[in-house]
Amino acid sequence: MKVQVNDQNKISPNLVFFLIHAVQVGVGILGFQRYIAEKAGYDAWISVLLAGIGGSIIIKIMYSMLLKEEGDLIEIHRTAFGNTIGNILSVLFLIYYFMMALAVLRTYIEVVQVWMFPQLSIFPYAFAFLGLVYYIVAGGIRTVTGIAFMGVVFPLYLILTIVFPLRYADFGDLLPIFSHAPIDILAGVKSTTLSYLGFTTLLMYFPFINDKRKSHIWAQLGFQFTTILYLLVAVVTFAFFSKEQLATTIWPTLTMFKIVEMPFVERFEYIGISSWALIILPNVCISVWAFSRGLKRVFHMQQYTGLKISIIALFILMLPFKDRQAIDQLNNYVSTIGFYVLYAYIPCLAVVYHVVRKVRDKHEA
Cβ–Cβ < 8 Å for 162, 256: yes
C-alpha distances out from residue 17 to 53, 65, 168, 221, Å: 17, 19, 34, 6
Q: Which of 157, 154, 169, 152 is nearest to 259 (CA)?
A: 169
Cβ–Cβ < 8 Å for 38, 197: no
Q: Which of 296, 293, 297, 292 is nearest to 74 (CA)?
A: 297
Q: Which residue type, as a one-letter code, is found at position 281?
A: L
Q: 178 forms bridges with which residues in the sheet?
A: none
Q: Which residue type, as a one-letter code, is found at position 47?
A: S
**pLDDT for residue 26:** 81
Q: Which of 248, 269, 242 is nearest to 258 (CA)?
A: 269
**Cα gap 14→115, rounded to integer Å:** 36
Residues 6+ apart with CB under 8 A from 277: 108, 129
Rounded (5°) CA angle 358-362-365: 135
Three-class DSSP category at 11: strand
Backbone dihedral angles phi then psi of residue 202, each to the nearest 5 degrees: -55, -35
> What's the DSSP call for residue 265?
B
The CA dihedral of 345, 232, 237, 195, to the nearest 10 degrees, is -20
Q: Which of 282, 9, 295 is nearest to 141 (CA)?
A: 9
Residues 6+ apart with CB under 8 A from 299: 306
- Inter-residue long-range contacts of 339-347, CB under 8 Å, 24+ positions, other chains counted: 339/190, 339/193, 341/93, 341/96, 341/200, 342/54, 342/55, 342/58, 342/193, 342/196, 342/197, 342/200, 343/54, 343/58, 346/58, 346/61, 346/62, 346/200, 347/58, 347/61
Cβ–Cβ < 8 Å for 43, 242: no
**Cα gap 170→174, rounded to integer Å:** 8
Q: 265 forms bridges with which residues in the sheet?
A: 262
**pLDDT for residue 4:** 78
Domain map (residue ranges) of the chain: 7-364
**pLDDT for residue 84:** 96
Backbone dihedral angles phi then psi of residue 265, each to the nearest 5 degrees: -150, 135
- Inter-residue long-range contacts of 131-135, CB under 8 Å, 24+ positions, other chains counted: 132/281, 133/281, 133/284, 133/285, 133/288, 133/311, 134/307, 134/308, 134/311
Q: Which residue type, as a one-letter code, is found at position 126?
A: A
C-alpha distances out from residue 253 to 111, 236, 257, 269, Å: 12, 10, 7, 10
Ordered per-residue pLDDT tens for the chain, 365 residues: 567 788 888 999 999 999 999 999 888 888 889 889 988 889 999 999 999 999 999 999 999 999 999 899 999 999 999 999 999 999 999 999 999 999 999 999 999 999 888 888 888 999 999 999 999 999 999 999 999 999 999 888 888 888 888 888 888 888 888 888 889 998 888 888 767 888 999 999 999 999 999 999 999 999 999 999 999 999 999 999 988 899 888 899 988 988 887 776 777 888 888 889 999 999 999 999 999 999 999 999 999 999 999 999 999 999 889 888 999 999 889 988 999 999 999 999 999 999 999 998 888 75
How many helices and strands (H and E) does the chain possess?
Answer: 17, 0
**Does the domain formed by 7-364 have CATH 1.20.1740.10?**
yes
pTM for the model stands at 0.94
Cβ–Cβ < 8 Å for 327, 111: no
C-alpha distances out from residue 187 to 39, 175, 245, 312, 342, Å: 6, 19, 21, 36, 15
